[in-house]
Amino acid sequence: MQKYIAYQGEPGANSEAAIEQYFGSDAEALPCQRFSDVFEAVVVGSAVYGMVPIENSITGSIAENLDLLRKHNLYITGETVLQIQHHLLGLAGTVIDDIAEVHSHPQGLLQCRSFLDVHSNIRPIAAEDTAGAARQVAEWKIPERAAIANASAGVRYGLEVICPDIGDRHDNFTRFIVLSSQLSDVDKADKVSMVFEVEHRPAALYDALGVFAEGKINLTKIESRPIPEKAFNYWFYVECEGLFYRNTRKRLEADLRAQLQHLKILGWYCSEKHVAKKEQKHQIPSIK
Amino acid sequence: MQKYIAYQGEPGANSEAAIEQYFGSDAEALPCQRFSDVFEAVVVGSAVYGMVPIENSITGSIAENLDLLRKHNLYITGETVLQIQHHLLGLAGTVIDDIAEVHSHPQGLLQCRSFLDVHSNIRPIAAEDTAGAARQVAEWKIPERAAIANASAGVRYGLEVICPDIGDRHDNFTRFIVLSSQLSDVDKADKVSMVFEVEHRPAALYDALGVFAEGKINLTKIESRPIPEKAFNYWFYVECEGLFYRNTRKRLEADLRAQLQHLKILGWYCSEKHVAKKEQKHQIPSIK
């Protein structure tokens, strides 16, 4: 009986921390190499859920995951917001003056730009992911090499925090979504995500958005993504907030479907703030 | 007297090709290390114009340049659409079976995924940019190393095309914008770009978009970008098409400004398709 939750990265990655935050510490996290592997794992059933980042409060949407949402037949069943903290991690006993190289994901390096500008003698080197950089630094055992990663990666690979919290911004949050092959059947959802296309004609985008206004649906986020086969045409990823009861969702979906092209409802679910009130971890169904 | 056009990358970069396409072959291109350096060069006047990519038809918007547009006091005065072709470039006399490593920008590698999947014995290695990868391959003089870059980078660094046009998609276009410290004063523009924020209240986004519908302004593109200081609040980058005459723009701008928060008009300019009809290159004013 498996209860795996798939995520991209190595043990110690922020996605793994998001799994623990949402499902609790007994959730079995399944590391995958690429985001597309996470989606595949849920599709084929080797994982019950997937946990992927959808947006960061500083850098914006993770476009690759928006595109994967459109391509796969999966649903969003929940979300969780993780505070991101970047630490400079090194071998035990090393201090900042020992460090000549720092390894991290390009986003990690970018988000610590002020620190790296001040310590311009330290060469930033791009790595596949932050936790992987921490693992490598631990394996290399070369005191001049450090990593930028979160605290749990440091603990996991036995590295010390040389400089804590070196990110440019302390209000750095990443929102993760929970992927499932089943549409959530929660009675009362306060959030809905969907994707749709608009026709290539004047005011098509405005008309599409009018559908939400007429339905008094509070559109809170809109992202446009290119349709590769139709240069400079777009499809849209939209999130709305409200009170969506199970017995009224079908009607709302039919109304939207009548007016939007290629509409796909990605899920009715409870937002982080809705769940936070309940202060409980989410249960993981088993795969038989 | 300088007439530099700043761009990000090394000689042979796609941005340099965009400069030649828009301004003609006698334009003096000024390579910059980062996109922010391009914006700075135009701000301080060391370049008359900047040329930066704003979106790709497959991968979408270049978020960093959207953010830089909002932060800098610069204007968009034109655009040009460049077809992107990726070639496998190597030392003279090498063939595909010689190649063990291929160097390119991560986007270049990503856009040639099918080719790299078929030739799985070739190790893809990330580089700062495509033209820089071509230069390095030429400098290394190691026959096992190849680059993915455009044809002009190959010519510039004396590399041969080992496999032509290896991108996954042939309809791969990047749209570039021309940056200036002066608002364009063209009499008849057919495109306008702007940024604005929306209040954090229900239907704020819909109301903002209603402004365009009431003014019968054809909104063709909308991108949301995070406001780092306000987690999960957004500002919007919007493009509209129409016929905007010089003598009516002030009134339209006042109408928009009355209803949108922190509105900044980035420029009234002629779209690529508008310019294409004229079949002429753009003139570059000199910096005194």
Domain closes at, from B182, B212, B229: B182
A261 and A276 in a single domain? The answer is: no
Which residue's structure tokens are 């032509």?
A: B164
Determine the straight-line distance between the first and last CA of chain B, rounded to whole angstroms: 6
The verdict on a CB contact (< 8 Å) between A223 and B226 is no
C-alpha A65/C-alpha A24 separation (Å) is: 24
A20 and A139 in a single domain? The answer is: no
Q: What percent of chain A has pLDDT over 90?
A: 61
Residue A25 confidence (pLDDT)? 86
| Strand ranges of the sheet holding B230-245, from the earlier edge strand across to the other edge | B218-227, B230-245, B188-197, B261-269
And the tokens for B104?
Answer: 């390119």
Output the CA torsion sign for A172, A279, A65, A204. negative
Answer yes or no: is B92 within a domain: yes
pLDDT confidence tier of residue B1, bands split at 50, 70 and 90: very low
A202 and A246 in a single domain? The answer is: yes
A56, A213, A226 ranked by CB distance to B57: nearest: A226
Q: Of B222, B221, B219, B215, give the one whose Cα is nearest residue B251.
A: B215
- Per residue in B82-103, pLDDT tens? 999 999 999 999 999 999 999 9
The verdict on a CB contact (< 8 Å) between A221 and B212 is no
Q: Which residue has the higher pLDDT, A96 or A212?
A: A96
Residue B5 confidence (pLDDT)? 97
- Per residue in B214-262, pLDDT tens? 777 888 888 989 888 887 788 999 999 888 999 989 988 998 888 888 8
And the tokens for A17?
Answer: 């921390």
pTM, entire model: 0.83
The verdict on a CB contact (< 8 Å) between B226 and A55 is yes
B146 and B190 in a single domain? The answer is: no
Q: What angle do CA A194, B63, A211 make, to 5 degrees?
A: 30
Annotated catalytic residue A130 = no
Mean pLDDT on A194-198: 91
pLDDT confidence tier of residue A208, bands split at 50, 70 and 90: confident
Residue A286 reports pLDDT greater than 70? no
Q: Chain B contacts of A223, Cβ < 8 Å?
A: 223-224
Residue A279 confidence (pLDDT)? 53
What are the φ/ψ torsions at residue A140 (nearest 5 degrees)? -60, -35
Mean pLDDT over the full length of chain A? 89
The residues that bridge with B83 in the sheet, in sequence order, are B173
Residue B288 confidence (pLDDT)? 41
Q: Chain A contacts of B63, Cβ < 8 Å?
A: 59-60
Residue A1 confidence (pLDDT)? 45
A92 and A38 in a single domain? The answer is: no
Answer yes or no: is B284 within a domain: no
Instruction: Measure in Å the smallest separation between the Cα of A72 and chain B Cα atoms.
Output: 18
Mean pLDDT on A249-258: 88
SS3 B61: strand
Answer yes or no: is B105 within a domain: yes
Answer yes or no: is B110 within a domain: yes
Q: Of A63, A54, A70, A44, give the one whose Cα is nearest residue A14.
A: A54
Three-state SS annotation for chain A: CECEEEEECCCCCHHHHHHHHHHCCCCEEEEECCHHHHHHHHHHCCCCEEEEEEEECCCEECHHHHHHHHHCCCEEEEEEEEECCCEEEECCCCCHHHCCEEEECHHHHHCCHHHHHHCCCCEEEECCCHHHHHHHHHHHCCCCEEEEECHHHHHHCCCEEEECCCCCCCCCEEEEEEEECCCCCCCEEEEEEEEEECCCCCCHHHHHHHHHHHCCCEEEEEEEEEECCEEEEEEEEEEEEEEEEHHHHHHHHHHHHHHCEEEEEEEEECCHHHHHHHCCCCCCCCEC
Answer yes or no: is B245 within a domain: yes
C-alpha A69/C-alpha A66 separation (Å) is: 5
Q: Which of A161-170, A247-256, B226-235, B266-275 has the highest mean pLDDT?
A: A161-170
Q: Chain A contacts of B114, Cβ < 8 Å?
A: none
The verdict on a CB contact (< 8 Å) between B231 and A57 is yes
Q: Of A111, A103, A82, give the one whose Cα is nearest residue A159.
A: A103
Mean pLDDT over the full length of chain B? 89
B60, B209, B232 ranked by CB distance to A225: nearest: B60
CATH of the domain at A207: 3.30.70.260
C-alpha B228/C-alpha A171 separation (Å) is: 8
The verdict on a CB contact (< 8 Å) between B224 and A229 is no
Residue B59 confidence (pLDDT)? 83
Answer yes or no: is B109 within a domain: yes
A57, A202, A232 ranked by CB distance to B218: nearest: A202
Domain closes at, from B182, B215, B249: B182
| E strand or H helix that includes residue B20 | helix B14-23
Residue B44 confidence (pLDDT)? 96
Which residues from A are below 8 Å from B when comparing CB atoms? 55-61, 63, 126, 169, 171, 173, 175, 202-203, 205-206, 209-210, 212-213, 218-226, 228-229, 231-232, 234
The verdict on a CB contact (< 8 Å) between A213 and B206 is yes
A155 and A229 in a single domain? The answer is: no
Q: Of A124, A221, A225, A234, give the one whose Cα is nearest residue A175.
A: A221
Mean pLDDT on A130-134: 94
And the tokens for B194?
Answer: 């702007």
CATH of the domain at A148: 3.40.190.10
Q: Of A32, A15, A6, A51, give the one whose Cα is nearest residue A130.
A: A15
Instruction: Measure in Å the smallest separation between the Cα of A81 and chain B Cα atoms.
Output: 11
A95 and A224 in a single domain? The answer is: no
- Per residue in B20-31, pLDDT tens? 999 998 899 999
Q: CB pairs below 8 Å between A and B: how many?
A: 86
- Per residue in A220-249, pLDDT tens? 888 989 888 887 788 999 999 888 999 989
Q: Chain A contacts of B205, Cβ < 8 Å?
A: 209, 219-220, 222
How far CA B138 is from CA of A162, B92, B107, B112, B134, in Å, comes to 40, 10, 21, 21, 6
Q: Of B195, B71, B199, B227, give the one whose Cα is nearest residue A169.
A: B227
- Per residue in B151-167, pLDDT tens? 999 999 999 999 999 99
Mean pLDDT on A179-189: 92
The verdict on a CB contact (< 8 Å) between A212 and B206 is yes
Identify from A211, A223, A227, A235 which residue to disrupt to test chain B contact, counting B C-beta atoms within 10 A and taking the largest count. Answer: A223
Residue A218 reports pLDDT greater than 70? yes
Residue A242 confidence (pLDDT)? 87
Enclosing domain of residue B138: 87-163
Q: What angle do CA A56, A60, A62 make, to 5 degrees?
A: 80
C-alpha B31/C-alpha B129 separation (Å) is: 12
B198 and B258 in a single domain? The answer is: yes
- Domains identified in chain A, total number: 3
How far CA A77 is from CA of A252, B12, B27, in Å, comes to 18, 47, 54
Answer yes or no: is B261 within a domain: yes
Residue A285 confidence (pLDDT)? 65
B176 and B46 in a single domain? The answer is: yes
Task: Return the number of other C-beta atoms located less than 10 Å from residue B36's C-beta.
Answer: 16
- Per residue in B193-224, pLDDT tens? 999 998 777 677 777 877 777 777 888 888 98
Q: What is the DSSP-derived secondary structure letter of residue B2?
A: B
Domain closes at, from B151, B182, B213: B182
- Per residue in A44-95, pLDDT tens? 999 999 999 999 988 889 989 999 999 999 999 999 999 999 999 999 999 9
Instruction: Measure in Å the smallest separation between the Cα of A188 and chain B Cα atoms.
Output: 19
B198 and B178 in a single domain? The answer is: no
Amino acid identity, residue B212?
Answer: F
Please identify every residue of B annotated as catalytic: 174, 176
A74 and A178 in a single domain? The answer is: yes
B146 and B189 in a single domain? The answer is: no
Asked if residues B224 and B235 have their Cβ atoms less than 8 Å apart, the reply is yes
The verdict on a CB contact (< 8 Å) between A229 and B171 is yes
